[in-house]
Amino acid sequence: MLPSAEVLYTAVGDIDIAYNTLGEATDPPVLLISGLGAQLIAWDDAFCQELVDRGLFVIRFDNRDVGLSSHLAGGPLPYPSARTAGAAQAAPYTLAEMAADTAGVIENLGLDSAHLVGISLGGMIAQILAIERPERIRSLTSIMSMTGNGRVGQPTEAARALFLLPPVSTLAGAMDRSVLFNRAVGSPAYRIDETELRDRAARAFDRAFDPEGVVRQLAAAMTTPDRTEDLHRLDLPTLVIHGAEDQLIAVSGGQATAAAIPGAELLVIDGMGHDLPRPLWPTVVERIGGLVDRAEQRWTRSASTSVSYT
């Protein structure tokens, strides 16, 4: 395991965002956006190093309410299975606000724009940022995510039930829950060793543990409108990656995302569930790197034609 980069902080409005970077700042910037309740360390150091070896400057950060970023404690917690208009009032913030946090990270790092790679909830945030701030986005990679259309990407009943389990409060409970989740929704063809799952859960628990923050993130996701029509208007290089055996966000979510975005590439991986197992890293890194290469050429052409001379 490679040593993690130093954690830094940047303020986006009232939110302090914890982040770190790997690689050379002169290389194309790739911003990794984590999924529900996942901290920046969920993007494994070795996976990030593969991106760096591909010639990319990697930025990863803790979304609000997880990890070392600001936690928004206080006030009533929204019921996690609510899907009514009333739930929108109970949700303390929106995915659009989380997307604004992400844009703030890009701006505060002095970048005019970045390549976005979002996984699960992070894919939803990336899509919203691409819709609302397209000038900040060079390319979009949406992994195991969906459009917000309730007719696609729905979990199995067994996966849905995982979110109704009582929260855990101890290290042992967090490790057990990690194993339970992975065995239920992880990649059936690429099983992760239980010891590794427990080690990951222990690292996350020791770094920051806030199950109420996860509930608030979930409420933001569940009360976000369908993005399909807005995605139709995107004009940027896009890659959609999804597991054929995803039980948490069905593959139809990825298929609908690719269908909604003009010219999007779709990569469906057999045997992959709702995780990113090590044997698939070379494939995923190569596809992200290829998208970035093509997008950089387009971005350079666009920048050169936009220069005005006096």
Return the CATH number at 93: 3.40.50.1820
Q: CA dist 162 to 141, 184, 202, 223, 248, Å? A: 27, 9, 20, 19, 10
Residue 158: domain span: 8-306
**What is the rounded distance in angstroms from the CA atom of residue 210 to the CA atom of residue 94?**
18
Q: Residue 65: inside a domain, yes or no?
A: yes
Could you read off the pLDDT of 172-210 as tens digits, one per residue? 999 999 999 999 999 999 999 999 999 999 999 999 999
Q: Residue 1: inside a domain, yes or no?
A: no
Q: Residue 222: inside a domain, yes or no?
A: yes
**What is the rounded distance in angstroms from the CA atom of residue 230 to the CA atom of residue 51?**
30
Q: Residue 206: inside a domain, yes or no?
A: yes
Confidence band for 304, pLDDT divided at 50, 70 and 90: low
Q: Residue 285: inside a domain, yes or no?
A: yes
| Residue showing tokens 């989740």 | 181
For residue 307, pLDDT over 60 is answered with no
Confidence band for 87, pLDDT divided at 50, 70 and 90: very low
Per-residue confidence (pLDDT) for residue 201, from 0 to 100: 97
**What is the rounded distance in angstroms from the CA atom of residue 206 to the CA atom of residue 267?**
35
Per-residue confidence (pLDDT) for residue 91, from 0 to 100: 79
Per-residue confidence (pLDDT) for residue 5, from 0 to 100: 72
Find, among 115, 121, 111, the residue nearest to 64 by Cα.
121
Q: Residue 2: inside a domain, yes or no?
A: no
Per-residue confidence (pLDDT) for residue 57, from 0 to 100: 98
Q: Give the chain's domain count.
A: 1
Q: Residue 3: inside a domain, yes or no?
A: no
Mean of the per-residue pLDDT values of the chain: 92
Question: The whole model's pTM is what?
Answer: 0.92
Q: Residue 12: inside a domain, yes or no?
A: yes
Confidence band for 299, pLDDT divided at 50, 70 and 90: confident
**What is the rounded distance in angstroms from the CA atom of residue 9 to the CA atom of residue 25?**
17
Per-residue confidence (pLDDT) for residue 298, from 0 to 100: 82
For residue 88, pLDDT over 60 is answered with no
Could you read off the pLDDT of 161-171 as tens digits, one per residue? 998 899 999 99
